[in-house]
């Protein structure tokens, strides 16, 4: 009888294992996983090249109402730009050090815009400093240009205006 009692737990374990194997054989398991998208190279997409022709900007045209010793700015860039004038000696307002004007992208790109002050015409004198920089954080700047000393800030022979063309 002692052999039967020792044999009974083994028999129960075998029966449970057989029944478990039969049940598991009837169940269908599938496993899948997705590849990590960060480690896989991006898919190659082939597209036909887009043919674009670059149109050159037209040359600036002379203004209809020139202002001698005035300043005309042409913003031929795709950036918003601020133009600052530092007077060598501020004739009208000794308490103000500088004045500035803001230009939208491509604003005044053909004829240019004549700069004026709130109280009237702007007249440049030798020693005045003009500089420009972008307002979008791209860290582009032009200048400083000193009136009468830089070749980039040119004086038009016909209109006697100072002209600055901001190019990319």
Who contacts 35 (Cβ-Cβ below 8 Å, separation ≥6)? Answer: none
Q: Which has the minimum average pLDDT: 28-32, 109-113, 132-136?
A: 28-32
Task: State percent of the chain over pLDDT 70.
Answer: 76
133 pLDDT band, cuts 50/70/90, is very high
84 pLDDT band, cuts 50/70/90, is very high
pLDDT of the residue at 94: 53
Residues 42-60: what's their mean pLDDT? Answer: 69
Q: Which has the minimum average pLDDT: 30-39, 83-92, 101-110, 112-121?
A: 30-39
Distance (Å, rounded) from C-alpha 150 to C-alpha 166? 14
Burial (CB < 10 A; 0-12, 13-18, 19+), residue 75, is: buried
Distances (CA, A) of 50 to 7, 47, 53, 54: 83, 9, 10, 12
Higher pLDDT, 7 or 161: 161
Of the candidates 167, 113, 165, the one whose C-alpha atom is nearest the C-alpha of residue 140 is 167
17 pLDDT band, cuts 50/70/90, is very high
Mean pLDDT of the residues in the chain = 80
């Amino acid at each position: 009888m002692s052999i039967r009692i020792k044999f009974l737990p083994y028999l129960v374990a075998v029966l449970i294992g057989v029944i478990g194997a039969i049940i598991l054989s009837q169940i269908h398991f599938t496993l899948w996983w997705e590849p990590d998208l960060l480690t896989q190279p991006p898919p190659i997409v082939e597209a036909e090249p887009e043919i674009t022709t670059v149109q050159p900007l037209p040359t600036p045209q002379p203004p209809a109402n020139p202002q001698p010793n005035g300043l005309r700015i042409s913003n031929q860039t795709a950036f918003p730009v601020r133009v600052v004038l530092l007077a060598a000696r501020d004739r009208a307002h000794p308490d103000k050090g500088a004045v500035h004007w803001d230009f939208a992208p491509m604003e005044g790109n053909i004829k240019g815009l004549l700069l004026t002050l709130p109280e009237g015409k702007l007249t440049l004198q030798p020693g005045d400093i003009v500089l420009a920089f972008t307002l979008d954080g791209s860290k582009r700047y032009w200048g400083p240009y000193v009136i009468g000393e830089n070749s980039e800030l040119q004086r038009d022979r016909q209109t006697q205006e100072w002209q600055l063309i901001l190019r990319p």
